[in-house]
């Protein structure tokens, strides 16, 4: 699949990662080295079609999702993702004629998905966007976010103009065109704020304060209008590309993509039995996704109370209600000398496992769980998340099939902030578990299974199901 409109792609961070493509190789711990970008050559841009309309930190790249769908599911299957984030699984499910159920704690999912999986079959017209933008610039309406310290994040004159533009967008009919402009305004509102928009977390920086001060000496409003105008047209073209692709390649697509943002995946009911789980849980040391997106949530009309209540539920900033124990996790816990880090570790695995287990309980017998994670460090100690999850679930009716290691050649890091993993993670891992297969019940036996089960999994280079949908 080739991207029809490369200039229409936007991401929160520049995409400058390159992946080494090793020859067939298995490491000493049984992981198989792969490059998902090479295994799925039909996707040559991580932001193709509607994937990049909204900015979101630590996005799940579509090549991994596509590979998992091609290899472990078939058309018409139901897939569940309890950590839906920016909705990558939902978009790929739609494009691959699968169905999907998406959950996420972040309310932004409810705003993202209607645009990312757009069902209208009529081509959108740029003239309608121009007309809407003209009305926005002449609007007398005002909207101020219900945010007690909004003044801290904006220069007064910029805040006044943004309140005019958002006042207009909150008072017009909710059409696809107003939603297109809204998506553009979200990015512009962050870019013209004091937050350091090159890093994921919301934080004022001296660089950005100086940049805004210089901007205010120039034609800042003209630049703001140009940005909103340009982004609106690019978003519209992305939607047109999405519609054109689905009309040409999917015929009468009957995929059902369901989503629910603002919910705790540990306890929300999965409404049906599913054929697969495909997900990427939050990183151990980088999971403040609501903090990263709360500026957008405020402009979209959510209140401080709503955002504060959801932020308290983020992993791992809530207390563990049980202690997860596996051989590997217990070893890490014993090595930690700081009690606060032990509590953070326990909280992370408690609530990550709770959410995974809640969804995996709804998988059919013989269904697969595809879980994409990294191996971060905490207090200098590597935490093999894939191994810990494998040990836990193989004691509970899942068989370990495979773990694929995708080595990262280069990654953009943010040295200006206190990075918990200053050298970055060298690899990320796709763990494959299968429900109700034969499994030993003790962790040491499962450890042996992890090392010896390579032959059980399909080869990603030769699997008959690995072609494009």
Determine the pLDDT at residue 199: 77
- Local confidence pLDDT in tens for the 469 residues of the chain: 333 333 333 222 222 333 333 444 555 467 899 999 999 999 999 999 999 998 888 888 999 999 999 999 999 999 999 999 999 999 999 999 999 999 999 999 999 999 999 988 889 999 999 999 999 999 999 999 999 999 999 999 999 999 999 999 999 999 999 999 999 999 999 999 999 877 778 899 999 999 999 999 999 999 999 999 999 999 999 999 999 999 888 887 789 999 999 999 999 999 999 999 999 999 886 667 888 899 999 999 999 999 999 999 998 778 999 999 999 999 999 999 999 999 999 999 999 999 999 999 999 999 999 999 999 999 999 999 999 999 999 999 999 999 999 976 544 433 444 444 444 557 899 999 999 854 333 333 333 333 333 333 344 343 333 333 3
Query: And the tokens for 174?
Result: 């909710």
Determine the pLDDT at residue 426: 75
Say if residues 273 and 78 touch (Cβ distance below 8 Å): yes
Hey, what CATH topology would domain 6-110+259-289+304-456 get? Rossmann fold (3.40.50)
Say if residues 20 and 409 touch (Cβ distance below 8 Å): yes
* Cα(364)–Cα(368) distance, integer angstroms: 9
Reported pTM: 0.84
Every domain of the chain and the residues it spans: 6-110+259-289+304-456, 126-242
Half-sphere exposure of 196 (CA within 13 A, CB side): 13
Determine the pLDDT at residue 56: 87
Half-sphere exposure of 93 (CA within 13 A, CB side): 30
* Cα(289)–Cα(416) distance, integer angstroms: 19
Of 109, 46, 385, the residue nearest 65 (C-alpha) = 46
Strand partners, 370: 278, 432
Is the backbone of residue 87 left (phi > 0), alpha (psi -120 to 50) or beta? left
């Amino acid at each position: 699949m080739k991207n029809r409109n490369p200039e229409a792609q936007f991401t929160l961070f520049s995409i400058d990662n390159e992946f080494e493509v090793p020859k067939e190789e298995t490491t000493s711990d049984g992981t198989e080295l792969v490059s998902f970008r090479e295994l799925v050559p039909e996707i040559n841009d991580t932001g193709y079609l509607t994937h990049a309309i909204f900015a979101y930190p630590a996005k799940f790249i579509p090549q991994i999702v596509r590979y998992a769908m091609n290899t472990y599911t078939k058309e018409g299957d139901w897939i569940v993702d309890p950590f839906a984030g920016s909705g990558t699984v939902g978009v790929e499910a739609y494009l691959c004629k699968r169905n999907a159920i998406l959950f996420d704690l972040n309310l932004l999912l409810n705003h993202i998905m209607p645009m990312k999986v757009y069902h209208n079959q009529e081509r959108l017209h740029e003239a309608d966007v121009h007309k809407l933008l003209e009305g926005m610039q002449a609007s007398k309406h005002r909207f101020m976010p219900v945010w007690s310290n909004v003044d801290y994040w904006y220069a007064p004159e910029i805040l006044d103009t943004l309140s005019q533009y958002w006042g207009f967008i909150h008072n017009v009919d909710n059409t696809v065109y107003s939603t297109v402009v809204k998506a553009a305004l979200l990015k512009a509102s962050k870019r013209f704020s004091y937050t350091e928009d090159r890093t994921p977390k919301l934080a004022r920086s001296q660089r950005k304060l100086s940049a805004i001060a210089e901007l205010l000496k120039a034609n800042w409003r003209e630049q703001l209008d140009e940005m909103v105008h340009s982004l609106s047209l690019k978003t519209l073209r992305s939607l047109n590309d999405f519609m054109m692709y689905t009309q040409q390649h999917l015929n009468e697509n009957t995929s059902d993509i369901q989503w629910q943002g603002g919910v705790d995946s540990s306890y929300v009911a999965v409404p049906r039995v599913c054929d697969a789980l495909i997900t990427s849980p939050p990183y151990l040391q980088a999971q403040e996704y609501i903090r990263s997106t709360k500026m957008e949530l405020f402009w979209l009309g959510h209140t401080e109370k709503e955002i504060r209540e959801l932020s308290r539920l983020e992993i791992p900033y809530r207390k563990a209600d049980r202690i997860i124990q596996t051989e590997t996790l217990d070893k890490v816990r014993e090595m930690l000398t700081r009690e606060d880090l032990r509590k953070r570790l326990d909280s992370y695995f408690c609530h990550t496992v709770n959410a995974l287990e809640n969804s995996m309980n709804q998988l059919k017998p013989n269904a697969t769980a595809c879980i994409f994670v990294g191996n971060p460090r905490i207090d200098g100690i590597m935490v093999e998340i894939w191994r810990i999850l494998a040990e836990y679930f193989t004691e509970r009716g899942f068989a370990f099939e495979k773990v694929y290691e995708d080595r990262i050649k280069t990654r953009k890091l943010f040295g200006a902030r206190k990075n918990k993993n200053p050298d970055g993670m060298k690899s990320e891992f796709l763990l494959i578990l299968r429900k109700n297969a034969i499994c030993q019940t003790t962790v040491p036996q499962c450890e042996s299974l992890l090392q010896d089960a390579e032959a059980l999994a399909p080869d990603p280079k030769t699997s008959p199901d690995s072609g494009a949908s």
